[in-house]
Structure 1
Amino acid sequence: MRRFSNSLFNFDEPLGWLRVKLDKLSRFLKIGFTSLIFSFLAGCGGDENGDENVATKIALDPNEPISYSIQVKPILSDRCFGCHGQDEANRKADLQLHNAESAYKKFKDGSQPIVPGNAEKSVVYQRIISTDPDFVMPPKSSHTVVTPEEAEIIKVWINQGAKYEKHWAYIPPKLPKVPANDKDDQYQVWPSNSIDNFTLAKMVQHGLTPAEKADKAKLIRRAFLDITGVIPSPTLFDKYMADKSENAYEKMLNDLFASERYGEKMASYWLELARYGDTDGYQNDGERNMWPWRNWVIDAFNHNMPFDQFMIEQLAGDLLENSTKDQILATGFNRNTPLNAEGGIIDEEFRVEYIADKVDVTSTTFLAHTMGCARCHDHKYDPLSAKDYYKMFAFFNNTRETGISAGSWAKPNTFYYPDKQDSELAAYIEKEIAQLEAKVSKVEKAHKADISAKLKQQAKAAIDRSNADKYKNLVAKGKNYISFESRFGKDPDKVSIANTAVVPGKFGNALRFNGQGKYSGFANSRVRPKVFNKKPLGLSIWTRQATAQDLKVFDDLPTYIDEQPLSTKSLANLPTSGFRLAAEYQKNTKKKKGFDLAINANNQLEFAIVGDWPKHAIKVVSEVLPKNTDWQHIYAQYDGSEQAKGLSLYLNGKKLKSQIVQDNLEGESTAIRFGDIEFGAPRLAESGLYTGRDLDEFRLLDKVLTAKEIQLLATSSPWQIAGGQFKEYPSEYLADNQQYIQDKTQLLKTQEKLQRLIDDRAVQIMVMQDAAPFDKPIRATYLLDRGSYDKPVKEEALTANIPSYFGDLTGNYPQNRLGLAKWLASDENPLTARVMVNRLWQLVFGRGIVNTSENFGNQGDLPTHPKLLDWLAIEFKQSGWDIKYMLKLMMMSSTYQQSSDFPIADVIPDPENIYLSRGGRYRMTAEQIRDSALQASGLLVNTIGGPSVKPYQPANFWQSINAKVAYKEDTGDGLYRRGLYSYWKRTAGVPSMIIFDAATKDYCVSRRQSTNTPLQALVMFNDPQYVEASRALAEKAYSQFTSPVERIDYIARSLLNRSLESSELAELTSLLDEMLVGYQAEPEQAKQLFSVGAKQAAVDEASFAEVAAYAVVSSAVMNLSEFITRQ
């Protein structure tokens, strides 16, 4: 077989072994089909992303005054504002041409930039028309010029009084009057709704007339692509073609909007705005689980969530009163930020980058403004100062996000249950736990005095016993109190020990871990406390260094220590290790979970709470401890905050200085540990050297102690402490209270049940969460000089607020993300409704009313139909922000239903179809092409939601980016799901989609560019996905029909949604015959075709040659512009 090879692809050419003659195909393409060589005309349909500013096309109308906003400002913004605009730092001659006051103000020499009513005396006009290279503006160095036509516009405007106006996008939309049609107009009955009145008026203004209505077949296909993202199956197509009722078209639209495919189609666009990806980006580009947020988006569109609610929940769902898990999940919108976990990066630098990304995405998505341009300096074109930028920055600067972070465990995060039943079960269990905790706590509080007395009595008796009995096999007594004193035999299952000795302790007896045997000696208590990541924990223990020097272990070295393999070879140059005072870790699990308190090789205390080491943990290291052999009291405390700053360490009652080394513990309030407490286990930091230590009087507490209480622990005897200050696990002291014991037992079982559900079924996902109440932020926000993280201008702390040009949130809205979201949805904001209806218009017509849908600022394109845009924005809000209603309104219009077929002569007056005098015609998106090919072949799997899948990809593509990471192709349904679900690695996206202009996932994308390249033809002919689809379609046609004519017609109807003309059928029949001869002559080539893809052959081997020939026919039709074009 021949192979095509390029930088992205190296595919076999299974259909090309006969080298299908180009002249044969070219003859075929010329007959009745839209050839690929004419695909450039798709741009003539009005959807390609041309960037020419509409203002330059508007001719001077002697009956109309020149508009500064529509005609003049676009010229000044593009040629002048860079030096004479908003940016004070780069402003020249102290002249602001965006500001009337400055533009009218005289220079020191008495001249005036703009003299209203007199262009000839206006310095601005004089310099624009000057031929002197040293005087003309813009200067030659700018490489821009003002054309004579543009100079004339400026001249007339000045002579008319040089009236300045507010930028059109900043003026709140007002309901315009719907244009009325002339009674004598031949198109009087053409409008189907108010949209048509606006578009028809613009057509007439520009000497254009509407095209005829598209035929029913094309309208059906068009609607399917625009609403569901895939072409209709022959069955559905025939169903809607057969409906002759008057409202058949509207009924079809209703059916399509009710389909789950609608939510997937809409989500595909929204995910690009949100820069969704399945990995973190940057060099490491590790995996993350953000697909639960994608599920939320699909579901929101399918349930037609009002857009204002859709926006508020994504920006601030966590701040809503009594927010639900779904509302918190929605905030994943702003956690799609690429994350960096590379070695050597600076945490604060990248934390600032992540916040800046949120500002950019929020402003682009909901305001269509390039706010990022004001990060380093005042915006050159729009009324946004750098101070305004950092006020927006402050909305996101209070989150618990860190700079060095990656993966779904990057804080803050939450658990998500993909299965609805699991989610409901978790909610039920959490409610049951809360009820049991309340009952247990009530009993414990009621018996506090009795328990305190019993504790005091038992502690005294325990010490007395330990002075009398010295056994090596010791028992832990009590649920929270291990004094290492009780005799073996009383409860032999409570403690297992090895290589330890009983020695006089701080109080009674202690255990000595002397470093002379396997593991240096350890004790493993069967006491199994439940440690929660959102509840306090205290560890109290007495310890002393047993010997003056460390003891080396020579015998019985373990094969594994701390889950790390140990080899004899690795012991040659080992540093000194530390000593584990107390720890508990879950066994038999992939995740290392629990707590750890240890003294390291540098004689520092280390304390960690671990959910999944090292990704999901908090840890601190203390200052160096003084070296002595006296008994020392160590207390480690965790306040339940899930933050490393909530960890504290004490020595002999005094707080130690400590440094945070890990700060990433987030999640639901669930147990992170159900296991034994271990004492004295060595910490083999690649070492065979252990420290001998004595341990005594261990206590576990589930409350935050005051400094006074910690001092009490360090200075008092156990029976003094037992007087009532520290009751923690009093079950054994309430043994006669059967109801209490029953509730306590049930509570522990229920907590374990929830933990198992989380471990087995839950997915961790990043969400938004503020670290503190917004009126008490954890960090101040300052303007950053030149946008640099390490150059805050601390003269003024900034409060979260909207750009001053738009007003002020103070007093009207909370100055947090929720206040921002509510302002965006309010009538006070002139942009968001316009921005969203413009995006909807872009989705339906291929081009927005404002072509630069990402930029409504001064450098963006002007609206082609400004009154229509305002009418749609107001209609949108009055409909209750109803997205389906607006899309249907657009698609029910006569404007939408126009034919996209046109004579070339009709294109010349309006080549980009700006004024909508014909239907839109443009190439389908990468996802639509792939999904439609799978749909036609019967391979498309329509399972909705769930994790991303990994369909076919060129071999070793990921390794070109990272040699250590291999792409593991899916099997079964994962190969055939919609492109929306294809796994997207940020540093190595899906090649076949990239070639068809799929957007990057590194930043917010509002509109895709569209290109036509030879690589696209190679994908269609040779990518296994399309080869397999061609074969599967051929098998369907071969199995369902008997004659070549029927089979070829079925292939065409599946791909093109129409039957063939006789001349087209003749060409394809000729192609079929030629292919059949070749495959029959070389049957091995047919077998090779059937080896492409995972789908097993649906026909017997005797039919391979014939089906392979039909596969070539399928591929030929699939490669036509008519198949890949939405028209």
Structure 2
Amino acid sequence: MIGGITRIAVWFGLSSWMLSCSSDSSQGLADIPETVSYNLHIRPILSENCFACHGPDANKREAGLRLDRETDAYAALKEQPGRHALVPGDPQASEAYLRTVSTDSSERMPPPSSNLSLTDHQVRLIEKWIRQGAAYEPHWAFVPPVKAALPADDLGWAQNEVDYFVLKGMREQGLTPNQSADKRSLLRRVYLDIIGLPPPPAVLDQVETAELDLDALLDSLFANPAFGEKMAIHWMDLSRYADSHGYQDDYYRTQWPWRDWVIHAFNQNMPYDRFVTWQLAGDLLPDAGKEQVLATAFNRNHKITEESGAIDEEYRVMYAVDRTNTLGKALLGITLECAQCHDHKYDPISQKEYFQTYAFFNTVAEWGMEESTPGFSKKSPAKLPMLEISEADVSDILHFVNLPDSSRRVQALLANMGKGANYNSLLAESNVLKVSVMGEPDSTRQTYLLDRGMYDAPLEKVSPGVPEAILPFPEQLPKNRLGLAKWLFDPKNPLTARVFVNRIWQELFGQGLVSTPGDFGMQGNLPVNQPLLDWLAVDFIESGWDIQALLRTIVLSATYQQSSQVTAEKLERDPENRLLSRFPRQRLPAEGIRDLVLASSGLLVPEIGGPSVKPYQPEGLWEAATSGRGNLSRYQQDTGKYLYRRGLYTFIKRTVPPPSMMLFDASNRDACEVERLKTNTPLQALVMMNDPVVLEASRVLAERLLESQQPVPELIGNAFYRILGRKPETAERLILEENYRTFFEAFEADGARAEQLLAVGEYPLSPSLPITERAALMQVISLLYNLEETITKS
């Protein structure tokens, strides 16, 4: 089979179809289980069809009936004291069941007006559940995880604990695991997953004659500073990091030193509990230094406004709400935001508990807006409190901050601020970086439950607290963000470890064990393998919250090392590959595509950290899409080495995010995002065929290969090896050589066209090399970059 050469423009069709299929599509045809479980079978039905009117939200509850708690469901009905919604053991006496089978439209539940209805299979499940006693179970995600005993391995396949649980799930569905991937494929997979870069040819050569020692490979990759950059990408998404404020005028922000800290923390393998605690409450730690305070910029990455006419209190409340919602989604994996305006309709979280959690983040001494009109000043603008970082700090305690030289910073400031800026004042400003962080709390500010979540409608006063259904807040903990962090990492907290383990699993396999990573609540999907998730969560805690140990456990499993080959039987039985009887093929993230192109061509500048950079993008985009005001009103493209930094460092203006990255589903960082959408559009193919980064990389790689003066077949083979991590098959090589000849003849007949093609990008040309050969080889390399296999991890 030719590895994608003839399918350049047909991208990921099969994988997209598989992702869009529902694993529950055949549930209605399934047999009724011998024992019906509330959590597995009944709660999803009630949550989807009943809880909106008969669930936790008291404001929307109808007929006084609550079905999410057994005591309420068993009680006599308020409107019919002689009847009960559920009578354990007797479906015919259970009004909830009788309403589902009623032929009277005025009695039937869910009511026809809701456009909801139960399938026959769901009705039969409910009926059998009631006959078996209508036993309720606590929601799985609100019960602390425990390590289950390892299942049996009847194949002798397992390499570590992960595999026992995965194999059990496969065998229950009649599936068997794939054989292990070949050495080069596995090497490429591990490189892309751990440092986000392809393996260099010298490393690929080594596995030709030696065994692949994954344990030793992981040691070397964890020691590579690129590890921290790769890990930081997903953390930027959930922390909503950007280089501008957002909203219409969208001014510049200097938060990148915090990004440098995140990279540093991952490279130091900082335990996850400390990593998060510093970000939530580093300023409240005893003897907190500048590094701990810098970490708290996590809380201040949200959008802020600088527009005249904004109401301070309205926006200040929005900022505290954003911090609260980020805590819920990023660290707890629950839809806490649903309780801002009313009691949560599905999860046991009241509106009062929402604002009790909000109270932890409501004491920052900040204003809601920052006025940028010349001559206007305010004691506490939106960016305050701020941490000042001097060059002395960088040479001492904050050595991980990549402080650019003063002249470059001044040039950047001048470019952003336009004409009339004072050079000397800018030079003084450039010597001190200012990062928005958490600061001394405003002890005078009270927190209130807000009616319908409106900033100007305070009701009762509330004090800091948490949702009791997750874990009560211990009395001995301080009621501040530091206490909140300690609650978060209490060994009895059922969510924190599960949520992070699930996200790491998602990073490696493309989909978490819980496929709704931001919702472990009643409306979220059940884990595909809860014993595995719980085993990993407990092991993560027992390891001291060791992130690299977690990655090592998963990568060293036979599950991770499987080939991605798929048979018709496996595609039919498990189209979404939820049971992992093969390794999933996944397109690289937007940043990963850029990094692969730059690294394989030799253009990548491996410098760690520093300010965000502005690579090529369509001319006039910023100017046409924004208000025309502010210091980011025009795009000033970078030059030199700054054009070739990793995708992590690409400048993100929230109102006009980088177009090529957005087309590959990157986040615009408006809000916390724990999972990127997966889309396929023709525009993605157009980006790969026309983006100056891809074309320039193709030219530079062609020139570097031609300098070796090897025969054309070897040049093409070397390019293939660098880009795809393997040698071309005979059929592939013949197609590429024929393409080269076609391009060569065309450019030989039209030299001007060749010169125009080679003029792309700012990297210096190699004029001593023949134009026709350069252009022809450049086109072949561009073709390789456009292969589906190139930007796919498999």
TM-score, with length taken from structure 2: 0.92
CA distance change for structure 1 residues 233 and 273 in 2, over 3 Å: closer, same or farther?
Answer: same
CA distance change for structure 1 residues 209 and 390 in 2, over 3 Å: closer, same or farther?
Answer: same
- Residue matched to 1:83: 53
Alignment of 1:385 onto 2:350: yes
Of 880, 902, 912, 2:566 maps to 902
Of 756, 760, 769, 1:1092 maps to 760
Q: CA deviation at 1:240?
A: 4.0
CA offsets per residue over residues 951-983 of structure 1, 9 Å max, x none?
A: 000000101222351100000111110000000
Alignment of 1:365 onto 2:330: yes
- Residue matched to 2:93: 121
CA distance change for structure 1 residues 1086 and 425 in 2, over 3 Å: closer, same or farther?
Answer: closer
Of 406, 410, 413, 2:386 maps to 413
CA distance change for structure 1 residues 873 and 28 in 2, over 3 Å: closer, same or farther?
Answer: closer
CA distance change for structure 1 residues 284 and 865 in 2, over 3 Å: closer, same or farther?
Answer: same
Of 934, 938, 963, 2:598 maps to 934
Q: CA deviation at 1:105?
A: 1.7
Separation of aligned partners in 1, 2:60 and 2:382: 43
- Residue matched to 1:913: 577
- Residue matched to 2:231: 266
Alignment of 1:278 onto 2:243: yes
Does structure 2 conserve the Cα–Cα contact (< 8 Å) formed by 1:782 and 1:792?
A: yes
Separation of aligned partners in 1, 2:471 and 2:789: 50
User: What letter corresponds to residue 58 of structure 2 in structure 1?
Assistant: E
Does structure 2 conserve the Cα–Cα contact (< 8 Å) formed by 1:51 and 1:852?
A: no
- Residue matched to 1:1061: 729
- Residue matched to 1:829: 493
Larger radius of gyration: 1
- Residue matched to 2:781: 1114
Q: CA deviation at 1:759?
A: 4.6
Query: In structure 1, the residue corresponding to 2:648 is in which secondary structure?
Result: helix
CA distance change for structure 1 residues 913 and 357 in 2, over 3 Å: closer, same or farther?
Answer: same
Query: In structure 2, the residue corresponding to 1:1052 is in which secondary structure?
Result: helix
Alignment of 1:798 onto 2:462: yes
Does structure 2 conserve the Cα–Cα contact (< 8 Å) formed by 1:56 and 1:150?
A: no
Of 590, 611, 625, 2:425 maps to 590
- Residue matched to 1:250: 215
Separation of aligned partners in 2, 1:425 and 1:179: 48
Alignment of 1:991 onto 2:659: yes
Query: In structure 1, the residue corresponding to 2:549 is in which secondary structure?
Result: helix
Aligned-pair identity in percent equals 43
Does structure 2 conserve the Cα–Cα contact (< 8 Å) formed by 1:842 and 1:849?
A: yes
CA offsets per residue over residues 961-1006 of structure 1, 9 Å max, x none?
A: 2235110000011111000000000000000000011112001111
Q: CA deviation at 1:29?
A: 6.9
Alignment of 1:132 onto 2:132: no
Separation of aligned partners in 1, 2:548 and 2:149: 24
Of 440, 445, 448, 1:770 maps to 440
Separation of aligned partners in 2, 1:171 and 1:43: 34
CA distance change for structure 1 residues 893 and 55 in 2, over 3 Å: closer, same or farther?
Answer: farther
Q: CA deviation at 1:83?
A: 0.8
Q: CA deviation at 1:43?
A: 4.8
Of 598, 601, 616, 1:952 maps to 616
Q: Runs of 5+ in structure 1 lacking a partner?
A: 1-26, 427-563, 566-586, 592-755
- Residue matched to 2:189: 222
Q: CA deviation at 1:75?
A: 1.2
Alignment of 1:104 onto 2:62: no
TM-score, with length taken from structure 1: 0.65
User: What letter corresponds to residue 425 of structure 2 in structure 1?
Assistant: K
- Residue matched to 1:749: none
Separation of aligned partners in 1, 2:355 and 2:70: 27
CA distance change for structure 1 residues 418 and 1030 in 2, over 3 Å: closer, same or farther?
Answer: farther
Query: In structure 1, the residue corresponding to 2:449 is in which secondary structure?
Result: strand
Q: CA deviation at 1:844?
A: 1.2
Q: CA deviation at 1:771?
A: 2.8
Q: CA deviation at 1:848?
A: 0.5
Separation of aligned partners in 2, 1:372 and 1:50: 28
Separation of aligned partners in 1, 2:252 and 2:457: 33
Aligned length in residues: 760
Does structure 1 conserve the Cα–Cα contact (< 8 Å) formed by 2:291 and 2:397?
A: no
Does structure 1 conserve the Cα–Cα contact (< 8 Å) formed by 2:16 and 2:679?
A: no
Q: CA deviation at 1:418?
A: 6.7
- Residue matched to 1:153: 125
Separation of aligned partners in 1, 2:344 and 2:147: 31
Q: CA deviation at 1:421?
A: 5.0
Separation of aligned partners in 2, 1:425 and 1:1057: 38
Q: CA deviation at 1:1040?
A: 2.2
Of 979, 982, 986, 2:647 maps to 979
User: What letter corresponds to residue 782 of structure 1 in structure 2?
Assistant: Y
CA distance change for structure 1 residues 83 and 290 in 2, over 3 Å: closer, same or farther?
Answer: same
Report 1:668-683 matches (<5 A): none
Report 1:472-487 matches (<5 A): none
Report 1:12-31 matches (<5 A): none
CA offsets per residue over residues 255-295 of structure 1, 9 Å max, x none?
A: 11111111001000001000110000001110000000000
CA distance change for structure 1 residues 420 and 1085 in 2, over 3 Å: closer, same or farther?
Answer: farther
Does structure 1 conserve the Cα–Cα contact (< 8 Å) formed by 2:242 and 2:652?
A: yes
CA distance change for structure 1 residues 994 and 58 in 2, over 3 Å: closer, same or farther?
Answer: farther
| Structure 1 moving runs of 4+ over 6 Å | 27-31, 406-409
Separation of aligned partners in 1, 2:391 and 2:185: 38
Q: CA deviation at 1:589?
A: 4.1
Separation of aligned partners in 1, 2:566 and 2:494: 38
CA distance change for structure 1 residues 54 and 881 in 2, over 3 Å: closer, same or farther?
Answer: farther
Higher-helix-fraction structure:
2
Does structure 1 conserve the Cα–Cα contact (< 8 Å) formed by 2:29 and 2:121?
A: no
- Residue matched to 2:405: none
CA offsets per residue over residues 774-820 of structure 1, 9 Å max, x none?
A: xxx22111100000000000xx3211011122343352210000000
CA distance change for structure 1 residues 51 and 971 in 2, over 3 Å: closer, same or farther?
Answer: farther
Q: CA deviation at 1:1063?
A: 1.2
Separation of aligned partners in 2, 1:854 and 1:30: 35
Separation of aligned partners in 1, 2:26 and 2:386: 47
| Residues 331-340 or 417-426, more deviating | 417-426
Query: In structure 1, the residue corresponding to 2:573 is in which secondary structure?
Result: coil
Report 1:599-638 matches (<5 A): none
Q: CA deviation at 1:203?
A: 0.7
Separation of aligned partners in 1, 2:120 and 2:391: 63
Does structure 1 conserve the Cα–Cα contact (< 8 Å) formed by 2:317 and 2:455?
A: yes
Separation of aligned partners in 1, 2:456 and 2:364: 19
User: What letter corresponds to residue 650 of structure 2 in structure 1?
Assistant: S
Of 689, 713, 716, 1:1021 maps to 689
Does structure 1 conserve the Cα–Cα contact (< 8 Å) formed by 2:290 and 2:397?
A: no
Does structure 2 conserve the Cα–Cα contact (< 8 Å) formed by 1:1035 and 1:1099?
A: no
Does structure 2 conserve the Cα–Cα contact (< 8 Å) formed by 1:75 and 1:150?
A: yes
Of 431, 434, 437, 1:761 maps to 431
Does structure 2 conserve the Cα–Cα contact (< 8 Å) formed by 1:401 and 1:412?
A: yes
User: What letter corresponds to residue 262 of structure 1 in structure 2?
Assistant: F
- Residue matched to 1:438: none
- Residue matched to 1:550: none
- Residue matched to 2:286: 321
Q: CA deviation at 1:34?
A: 6.6
Separation of aligned partners in 1, 2:52 and 2:350: 14
- Residue matched to 1:343: 308
Separation of aligned partners in 2, 1:351 and 1:1060: 58
User: What letter corresponds to residue 445 of structure 2 in structure 1?
Assistant: R
- Residue matched to 1:1078: 746
Separation of aligned partners in 2, 1:268 and 1:344: 35
Separation of aligned partners in 2, 1:829 and 1:896: 28
Q: CA deviation at 1:343?
A: 0.9
Does structure 1 conserve the Cα–Cα contact (< 8 Å) formed by 2:606 and 2:645?
A: yes
Q: CA deviation at 1:829?
A: 1.0
Separation of aligned partners in 2, 1:55 and 1:1064: 40
User: What letter corresponds to residue 166 of structure 2 in structure 1?
Assistant: T
Report 1:571-586 matches (<5 A): none
Higher-strand-fraction structure:
1
- Residue matched to 1:1040: 708
Does structure 1 conserve the Cα–Cα contact (< 8 Å) formed by 2:307 and 2:371?
A: no
